[in-house]
Amino acid sequence: MTPSSNNIEPEKIKPSQLIKGSATMATANFLTLVLGLAIAMVATRKFTADVYGSFILLYLVSTFLTQVSTLGLGIAVTKFLATTEDPRRKELLTNTTLTIRLIMTGIFSLIAVALAPLIFKFIGANLETSSIFYMVIFFFCDSITYTLQSVLQGLFRFQQIAIWNFSSSLLNLGLLFLLSLLPINGLAILVFARWIAYILAGIYMFFSIPTKKHFVLQIDLVKELVKFGFPLQLNDILSYFYNRIDTIMIAVMLGSANVAYFEIARKIPDSFISFFEAFRVVFFPTFSRLYAANEKFEAELLLKSALRLTTFSCLLIASVAFLFGKDIINVIFSSQYVGVAPAFVIMTISMNFILIGYLLGNSLVAVGESDKPAKINVVHAIISLGSNLLLIPPLGILGAAITRIIGPIVTNPLNYIFLYRKFSVHVLAAYLKPILIFTAWIGLAFLIPQETILPKIMALVGFIFINYIFSVITKDDFTFLRLEAGKLIKKPFYKLG
């Protein structure tokens, strides 16, 4: 059985539906981004770099456990739910996925407890025995919430995901302040603030799934999910590897305090990548449905617009970081972290190449090429490992930041080639043009005096104007966004119908 068998013809999707779904997510994700930065501000001011670094390492271990135990169910169930209109099949997909996820979470929790001493020794973390418990509760939260989000995404319930994103971050911030009043150590405060927030918000997500919930394991459906999802599990593991191997290697080579400094350098770029999820969670099921309905022109137009506007947005953020990086770090995270500003700028530039890879990779999966991203990420992982080994010892966290650009620059062309072979899209110029403009602009921006603000503002305005002149951004973009924004102001959480 193929992913789309026994399905009725997918319903048409209006262009404004994509914007409304994205805007709902974007509104909540923007607030989540602000709250996430506020959480980091509190954590970096209340706790030492060693404590914050240890918290990051525990989080990394838990997310790795989530990746190796998914069986690729997350993106598989999203695609299957998005491309079927059969209510009975939707119910079976939802409940089978949740059942498998609970089983896998239990199994891997036991494995994690048994291997915890070896894991902590490998990453060079000086963690107490209680950290094993912290690691397991982190893993449980990440595993379950990831699965619930995937189900809601496939059901086009973007409003519920948006509410979860906002409420979990708000609860986390509030609990961080509340627990700080208790006589417990800093690491416990950081862990329990996040855990309690995720559990409470996760309960909301569970009851937001609009199907009857029950334990079920339909073997044929399990085989169908795993067959499609297993290559994606390999891809998830490889993605985690090349995205986070730098942090692990910094911990091993430089110590947990440097992990905290590197985390600060990547905090804002990673927050914007999370903000991008507001679009990605709508883009993937929408692109999947357009392709399944043989609306290939609309699918190509969607991908082209997504690449063009994503690239411009990322490079605009990178321009701001280049001009005002030290000021941003000083205001948000305090003066002790100002030294990470060069790494911060490089990380904002790498964000653009990472998101291009995400869009092309998601498009590959949407057209049925679920094995290709894993093959591409093998190359990416090898490049990341080799580059980090070469660059971290002499350059420290700056070397790790540079590596984040090298990997996607090499692998994004592979994503494009595989996608073009399956679906003859012509979208290369959509993201190459703004990259060339940015490259020329940043060469000139090095000549700008760093002490005065007016030339910096003029340079930023100039960057936007040049992109307008070369049609990277257009009048139609502004008009469309203005009209949609007007609707959203009147009804901020418009339910996707």
User: Residue 445 in contact with residue 322, Cβ under 8 Å?
Assistant: yes
Instruction: Evaluate if residue 236 carries a pLDDT over 80.
Output: no
112 in a domain, yes or no? yes
* For range 258-262, the mean pLDDT: 86
Per residue in 375-390, is it b (16+ CB within 10 Å) or e — as a string? ebbbebbebbbebbee
Q: Is residue 496 part of a domain?
A: no
d(CA 217, CA 296) in angstroms, rounded, equals 35
- pLDDT tier at 311 (50, 70, 90 boundaries)? very high
For 315-345, write each residue's pLDDT tens digit: 999 999 999 998 999 888 877 788 899 999 9
Alpha helices by DSSP H, listed for 255-367, are 256-292, 296-333, 341-366
Per-residue confidence band for 482, with pLDDT thresholds at 50, 70 and 90? low
Q: Are 221 and 96 within 8 A, CB to CB?
A: yes
pLDDT of residue 480: 58
Q: What is the mean pLDDT of the chain?
A: 82
Say if CB 194 and CB 38 are below 8 A apart: no
Which residue carries 């609970």 as its tokens? 102
Strand, coil or helix: 188: helix
Q: What string of DSSP letters covers 103-122?
A: HHHHHHHHHHHHHHHHHHHH
pLDDT (average), residues 398-411: 92
Q: What is the distance between the alpha carbons of residues 324 and 320, in angstroms, rounded to a whole number?
A: 6
pLDDT digit string, tens, across residues 139-184: 888 888 888 988 988 888 877 887 888 888 899 999 998 998 888 8
Provide the sign of the torsion angle of the four alpha carbons 204, 205, 209, 212, taken in this order: negative
Specify the pTM. Answer: 0.70
Residue 237: both structure tokens together: 């593991």
pLDDT at res. 16: 47
Region 433-456: mean pLDDT is 89
pLDDT at 460 over 90: yes
User: Which DSSP string corresponds to 206-271?
Assistant: HHHS-S-------HHHHHHHHHHHHHHHHHHHHHHHHHHHHHHHHHHHH-HHHHHHHHHHHHHHHH
C-alpha 168, offset from chain centre: 16
Does 312 have pLDDT greater than 90?
Answer: yes
The arithmetic mean of pLDDT across residues 243-268, rounded, is 84
Per-residue confidence (pLDDT) for residue 403, from 0 to 100: 93
Mean pLDDT value across residues 373-396: 88
- Distance between CA atoms of residues 228 and 286, nearest Å: 19
Instruction: Answer whether residue 175 is part of any domain.
Output: yes
Contact 78, 150 (CB under 8 A): yes
How many independent structural domains does the chain possess?
1
Residue 4 has a pLDDT of: 40
Of 87-101, 121-135, 144-158, 456-470, which range is least confident? 121-135
The residue that leads in pLDDT, 470 or 115, is 470
Tens digit of pLDDT for each residue in 407-424?
Answer: 899 999 998 999 888 888
Residue 321 · residue 313 · CB < 8 Å: no
Q: List strand residue ranges (DSSP E) for 82-240, in order.
A: none
Q: What is the mean pLDDT of residues 262-271?
A: 87
Residue 234: per-residue pLDDT: 74
Residue that wins the pLDDT comparison between 234 and 111? 111
Q: Is residue 285 part of a domain?
A: yes
pLDDT number for residue 23: 57
Q: Which of 151, 161, 196 is nearest to 28 (CA)?
A: 161
Residues 243-262: what's their mean pLDDT?
A: 82
Nearest residue to 143 via CA among 217, 216, 61, 213? 61
d(CA 94, CA 399): 43
d(CA 104, CA 225): 14
Looking at the chain, how many residues does it have?
497
The span from the CA of 95 to the CA of 206, in Å, is 11
Q: What is the DSSP letter of 493?
A: T
Which position has the higher pLDDT, 223 or 256? 223
Q: What is the pLDDT of residue 128?
A: 66
The three-point CA angle 254-256-258 to 5° equals 55
4 part of a folded domain: no
CA gyration radius, the chain: 22
Q: Give CA–CA dist 230/366, Å, rounded.
A: 15
424 assigned to some structural domain: yes
60 has a pLDDT exceeding 80:
yes
Does position 285 have pLDDT exceeding 80, yes or no? no
Single out the residue of 39, 43, 64, 48 nearest to residue 248, CA to CA.
Answer: 64
> Confidence band (pLDDT; 50, 70, 90) for 352?
very high
Query: Is it the case that residue 114 has pLDDT exceeding 60?
Result: yes
Whether residue 2 lies inside any domain: the answer is: no
The mean pLDDT of 206-216, rounded to a whole number, is: 86
Residue 126 DSSP label? -
Q: What is the pLDDT of residues 487-497, one digit of tens each?
A: 444 544 444 34
Would you say 139 and 109 are in contact if contact means Cβ atoms under 8 Å apart? yes
Q: Which domain holds residue 136?
A: 15-490
pLDDT over 60 (residue 15): no
SS3 423: coil
Residue 459 has pLDDT above 90, yes or no: yes
Q: Which helix (H) or strand (E) holds 465?
A: helix 453-469
What is the number of other CB atoms lying within 10 angstroms of the CB of residue 473?
A: 19
- The answer to whether residue 5 is domain-embedded is no
- The number of CA neighbours under 13 Å toward the Cβ of 143 is 29
Q: Is pLDDT of 85 > 60?
A: yes
Between 15 and 477, name the one with better pLDDT. Answer: 477
Q: Average of pLDDT values for 26-35?
A: 74
Give me the helices (H) in 371-425, please: 372-395, 397-422
